Chains A and B, each alone.
Chain A
Amino acid sequence: MRLLIIEDDDTLRETLAKQLAGEGFAVEQAADGREGQYQALEYPVDLAIIDLGLPEISGTDIIRAARDAGKTYPILILTARDRWQDKVDGLSAGADDYVVKPFHFEEVNARVSALLRRSGGWASSVLNAGPVSLDMSRQDLKVNGESVELTSFEYKIIEYLMVRAGEVISKTELTERLYDQDFERDSNVIEVFIGRLRKKLDPENTLKPIETLRGRGYRFALERNQAA
C-alpha cells in the first residue's frame, strides 16, 4: 500500500513516515503544498494523509484538486487547530476522515487501515472470503479458523490482494505499491512471495485463493462473505 504524507513539519512527517513504514506501508513524503499537490495528482497513491496548514497550497485546496482530477483514494486530514470549520471544510472538499494534532500514532494507523479497507469495499475490519479470514486490526490471517504464520511482506501482499478482492492487480502495481520508490524493483520477488502464500494458505491446492492471469497480474479469487 502506498501512502502519501503531506506535512510541513519535518520531525512529525519523518517520524510518522517511519512508523507507517514499520506497519508495512510504502510511504511517500511531501514537505509543502506544491510538492504535495504534484505527488497527489501524479503518483500512484492508495491513501493520502494531508495536513491542512501547509505552506504554498493549503491542504483543502490539494484535496479539492485531487478530487477534481478524479482521484478516489481515501484522504485523511491532519489538523492543528481543531476548529470544526476546518474539519467540515476539509471533509466537504473531499477528505474522508480527520485526526487532530497532537495525535497518537495508533489512532492514525487505525484510521488509515479503516479507510483502506473501506475503499476496498469492506465494511468491517475483518475481511472474510470463503474459509479465509483476515483481521486487519490484529494483522492475523486464518484459514478455516487456523492462524497462518506470515512474514511482513507476505502479509502486505495478501492484505493488498484481499482488500481489493475480485480486482486484477498487475505485478507492476503490486511491486510499486509495496515498495518505496528507492527500493530495488525485482518482479521475481513478487512471484516468489505469491508462490509461498499459495502454499501457506492452500497446502492441498484445493482452494486456489490467488489466481494468476497471464500477462495481466493477480486476483484474489474467493467470493467475499459479506456485502460490500
Chain B
Amino acid sequence: MYSLNARLLISVSLLLLLFFGATIIVLDTAFRTAGERAREDILDGHLMSLFAVADVTPGGSLEMRRELPEPRFSALGSGLYAAIRNDGGDSVFESRSALGIDLPAIAPTAVGREQFDRLELQDGTPLLAMTLAVNWELGDGRLKPFVFSVYESLDGFNAQVASFRQQLFGWFAALAFIMLVSISILLRGLLRPLRQIETEIGEIEEGRRTSLSKDFPNELTGVARNMNLLIDSERARSDRYRKTLDNLAHSLKTPLAAMRSLSGDAGSADADRFNEQIDRMDEIVRYQLRKPGSVAGKHLLLAPVPIREETERLVNGLGKVYRDKAPDIDVSIDGRASFRGDTGDFLEMAGNLVDNACKWCRHKVRVTIKPAGESGLILTVADDGPGVPPEAREALLERGMRLDEKTPGHGIGLAIVRDIAESYGGHLAIQGSDLGGAQFTITIPPPGA
C-alpha cells in the first residue's frame, strides 16, 4: 500500500541501519586494534624478561639463571607460556605453565627481528605469539642460534571483545528503537492535518459538513481552499445545470402543452398529424433533457441516498395515483443496500419501474432492494401482468436510442432508466417474474468496485 507514513518510516529505518552499522564496524575495529596493540607490547616485555634470565654455557647449552619474574609463567595453564628452541627446532626450555601443553613451534623468518603470529593450540585455543631468533655468541667466538618465543592465549581478550560488541549492539539497538518511536510520533503529529482533511472529506460525502474547515497549517491552506472552491463550483455547476435543464424543459414543454390544447379544438385529420409532431418533439425534449441529468449529478462528493425513505415516498405517491386500481405493492429493503449518487436519479429509476409495474400488473407488484456485494444496489421490480416475451426484451431496452425510428406513443422511460444505471456503472435487465409478469432488475455496483 502507498502510504507516506510507511514510506518515511522505512526510509528512516534504512538510514539508521546504514549509519549505525557503519559506526558499529568502525568502533569494533578500533577497539580490537587497540587491544591487540596493547597485547603485543605486553608480550614484548615478557620476551625481554625471558632474555634477561637465559644464559648459555661455554659448552653451548642453555641454562636459566633464575625463575622468570612473571608468576603466570609458573602457574599451570595460566595462558602465558614461554619456550626456547635450538636451531633443530627442539625445545631446550619451556616455562612451567606450559607443562602438558604442546606448544606449536614457530619457524622464524629472519634472525634478530621480532615477529608476531596467530596460532592455535591443539584444543583450539587461539594464541598470539611473539618470536625472536638470535645467534648467541659463545666465549670462543662461535655463534649458537636459539629461537625465543612467548605465547599468550587470546581467550580472555576475545571474551572482552565479545562483551564490548554485545554492549555496542545493545546500546545502538535501544537508540535506534527510541529514534524510530520518536520519529513515528513526530510523523503522526505532522500528518494529522492530512488525516483531518481525509476525515472532513468523508464527512462531506456523508452530508454532515458542507466544506473543509479553515484551521490547517500554512502548507495545506492552499489545498484546503482549492478543495473548497472545487466543492462549491461542483455544487454550483450541478445546481446550475439542473436549473438550466428545468427551465429549458419548462419553457419548451409549456408551449407544447399550449399547442396541443389549441390543436384539440380542430378535431380534424390535420389536428392528429399536428399532435403526432408534438408527441415527437415532446419525446425528444424528454429524452435529451433527461439523459445528461445523471451526468450532472454524478460527482465524487455525493452522500448516499436515503433509499428506504425515498422508496416509501415513491410507493405512497404511486398509491395515490393508482388509487382506483389499488395494486398490492410489496416492498422489502435490505438496509445494507446503498446508492451513492443523485436522489433524483434514484427516484427516476425506481419511479419508472414501479410506475410501469403498477400500470401493467393485475394486482401484485413486488419491489425488492438488496446490496450488490458489500454495498451497492440491486433493485428488482416484479409484477403479475402480461410480462414481456423474451424476443421483445432487447428491443424494449433499445427503444429511445434512435428517436426517429420509434413509434410515437411508446414510453422512453426504460431507455432513461438504462442510461442512468449505465452512467453509474450498472445495468438494467428484464426477466420473467415468479409472479407471472415481467421483472426488471437494476444492478449498480458499489463505487470503486
Contacts and interface: CB of A to CB of B under 8 A. Distances in A.
Contact of B256 (A19, A88, A98, A101): A101
B446 interface: no
Interface stretch (B44-52, B166-174, B242-250): B242-250
B320 A11 contact: no
B343 interface: yes
B250 A80 contact: yes
A53 B261 contact: no
B344 A84 contact: yes
Contacts of A105: 260-261, 264
B393 interface: no
A88 B282 CA distance: 21
A9 B286 contact: no
Contacts of B250: 53, 80-81
A97 interface: yes
Contacts, number: 105
Interface in A70-92: 78, 80-85, 87-88, 91-92
B171 to A, nearest CB: 70
Nearest to A16: B261
A118 B254 contact: no
Contact of A83 (B256, B261, B316, B344): B344
B437 to A, nearest CB: 21
B321 interface: yes
A92 B316 contact: yes
B308 to A, nearest CB: 14
B290 interface: yes
Interface stretch (B23-31, B348-356, B425-433): B348-356
Contacts of A95: 320
B246 A81 contact: yes
Interface in A90-125: 91-92, 95-98, 101-105, 114, 118, 123-124
B395 interface: no
Interface string A1-39: 000000011011001100100000000000000000000
Interface residues of A, number: 33
A84 B314 contact: yes
Interface in B11-45: none
Contact of B258 (A12, A53, A92, A118): A12
Contacts of A81: 245-246, 249-250, 253, 289
Interface in B293-330: 293, 310, 313-314, 316-318, 320-321, 323-324
Majority SS at the chain B contact face = helix
A76 to B, nearest CB: 10
Contacts of B314: 84, 88
Nearest to A93: B317
A63 B355 CA distance: 22
A95 B290 CA distance: 23
Interface of B: 245-246, 249-250, 252-262, 264, 275, 278, 282, 286, 289-290, 293, 310, 313-314, 316-318, 320-321, 323-324, 343-344, 347-348, 350-352, 355
29 contacts: A8-B254, A9-B254, A9-B257, A11-B255, A11-B261, A12-B254, A12-B257, A19-B261, A78-B257, A80-B254, A81-B250, A81-B253, A81-B289, A82-B286, A83-B290, A83-B293, A83-B347, A84-B348, A84-B351, A88-B351, A91-B316, A96-B323, A98-B321, A101-B256, A102-B282, A103-B257, A104-B260, A105-B264, A123-B324
